Amino acid sequence: MEFIPYARQTVDEDDIKAVVEVLRGVYLTTGPKIAEFEIELAKVCRQKHAVAVSNGTAALHAACYAAGIGECDEVIVSPMTFAASANCVLYCGGTPVFADILPDTYNIDPQDVRAKITPKTKAIIAVHFTGQPCDMYELRTIADEHRLVLIGDAAHALGAEFRGVPVAGLADMSTYSFHPVKHIAMGEGGAVVTDKDAFAEKLRLFRSHGITRDEIRLGTVHAHEPWWYEQLELGYNYRLTDIQAALGYSQLQKLDSFLKRRREIASFYDEAFGSLDGVKIPSQMPGCNSAWHLYVLQIDFQKFKTNRTDFFSRMRDRQIGLQVHYIPVYWHPYYQALGYKKGLCPIAEGIYENIVSLPMYPALSQDDLSRVVEAIKEILG
Ligand SMILES: *Cc1c(COP(=O)(O)O)cnc(C)c1O
């Protein structure tokens, strides 16, 4: 019996060909493939600019930098996310402030966002958990009222829509990850998309040491010196390679079919577990078209006279991988040492106890899906 992981990439021969072509060419990094990928991604997200960077964490760091986050600034973020969504605030010297999540969608609760705003609040990072868009109209309203930058962590949400608009639509900047478990794979990769020229310019500087070769910015003094460039700000080397961008471009061509398959799988699981007592399928807000990065099931383990550890190991015996998304970020020892206390976001903490992420990726076959469903029903039965 083959092992079914909770997530994996789908890479075909044409993806491999695209990468090999780059390896035979002139540029391995920052060549024509970067721009090709950026133009394509911006189109998919219906945003003016896409700035490709080395991974999703770098994208979040760059977005916080472009938003001007610094010491004494507070940024409101969900605890139901990967640590990177909050770490990026710390990188900039700011303070992450956790707002609790909604009990149905597990996305950040706009009302709790309001409650957590102080004179120091500078931005909101809205994580579109599992691929379901946050309530962006409400968050946009709050951000505008308090002059906050609204950043979308869309690592789960490439292709997701809110009332027919790509999820990046109402954010000032949105970040993506192209880690192999996400919608398209690059090995490592990430990007920030934005409609705003000023943010895009900051992001481009930040990804390459803060250095510019732009003739307009450099002026005429050194115009006769072809080697001249200037470092204007303190940036990093967060560049993506052409090798990765070629893979990403090729993968992007398949996004629609990947999304279609993910949505089919979600419907299949919904059908299988929707009427099972003691199990809660993910609820979807009206108007949301999720990208289904994850399928998160809530299971009342007590009711089934078992616990999550036992459930995991019995699934493992059946060669099926699961995961839990996520341990509340501020539970990690690093955050505890910073002074964050358990109990801060009771809804997120309560939900954490009962969630499991089921296998979800386009290459799952109908046989695989049946195996997963039967295994779960057998264990809980
Ligand atoms: C994957 C992920 C990231 C980080 O992306 P990397 O490419 O792994 O650095 C950030 N936020 C969320 C919500 C993620 O799922």
Q: How confident is the model over 238-261, as pLDDT tens digits?
A: 999 999 999 999 999 999 999 999
Asked whether the predicted pLDDT for residue 229 surpasses 90, the reply is yes
Q: Report how far ligand 1's centroid is from the alpha carbon of 57 (Å).
A: 6
Mutate-to-test residue for ligand 1 from 80, 82, 236, 329, highest number of ligand atoms within 8 A of CB: 82
Is 83 buried (19+), middle (13-18) or exposed (0-12) by CB count in 10 A? middle
Both structure tokens of 332:
């990690």
pLDDT digits (tens, 9 = 90+) for 78-96: 999 999 999 999 999 999 9
Asked whether the predicted pLDDT for residue 223 surpasses 90, the reply is no
Q: Report how far ligand 1's centroid is from the alpha carbon of 330 (Å).
A: 16
DSSP state of 281: P
Asked whether the predicted pLDDT for residue 216 surpasses 90, the reply is no
Residue 280 bears catalytic tag: no
Asked whether the predicted pLDDT for residue 217 surpasses 90, the reply is no
3-state secondary structure of 121: strand
Nearest to 121 by CA among 91, 140, 149, 141: 149
pLDDT digits (tens, 9 = 90+) for 262-279: 999 999 999 999 999 999
Q: Model confidence at 234, in pLDDT bands (50, 70, 90)? A: very high
Q: Report how far ligand 1's centroid is from the alpha carbon of 233 (Å).
A: 25
Q: Report how far ligand 1's centroid is from the alpha carbon of 140 (Å).
A: 23
What percent of the chain clears pLDDT 90, i.e. is strictly above it? Answer: 97
Instruction: Note the pLDDT of residue 110.
Output: 98
Asked whether the predicted pLDDT for residue 215 surpasses 90, the reply is no
pLDDT digits (tens, 9 = 90+) for 178-214: 999 999 999 999 999 999 999 999 999 999 999 999 9
Residue nearest to atom 2 of ligand 1 (CA): 155
| Catalytically annotated residue among 182, 202, 260, 341 | 182
Q: Does 222 or 203 have the greater pLDDT score?
A: 203
Q: Using the atom order of ligand 1, give the atom closest to the CA of residue 58.
A: 9
> Using CA atoms, how far apart are residues 112 and 110, in angstroms rounded to an integer?
5
Asked whether the predicted pLDDT for residue 1 surpasses 90, the reply is no
Is 302 buried (19+), middle (13-18) or exposed (0-12) by CB count in 10 A? exposed
Q: Which amino acid makes up residue 357? A: S
Average pLDDT over residues 354-371: 98
Q: What is the DSSP string of 192-256?
A: EEES-HHHHHHHHHHHBTTEE--HHHH-STTTT-TT--EE-S---B-PPBHHHHHHHHHHHTTHH
Residues with CB under 6 A from ligand 1: 55-57, 81-82, 84-85, 127, 153, 155-156, 177, 179, 190
Instruction: Note the pLDDT of residue 219.
Output: 86
Instruction: Note the pLDDT of residue 28.
Output: 96
What percent of the chain clears pLDDT 70, i.e. is strictly above it? Answer: 100
Both structure tokens of 113:
């966002």
Instruction: Note the pLDDT of residue 220.
Output: 87
Q: Are 232 and 210 in contact (CB under 8 A)?
A: yes
Taking the whole predicted model, whether its pTM rises above 0.95 is answered as yes
Q: Using the atom order of ligand 1, give the atom closest to the CA of residue 177.
A: 7
Nearest to 64 by CA among 197, 173, 143: 173
> Using CA atoms, how far apart are residues 2 and 103, in angstroms rounded to an integer?
35
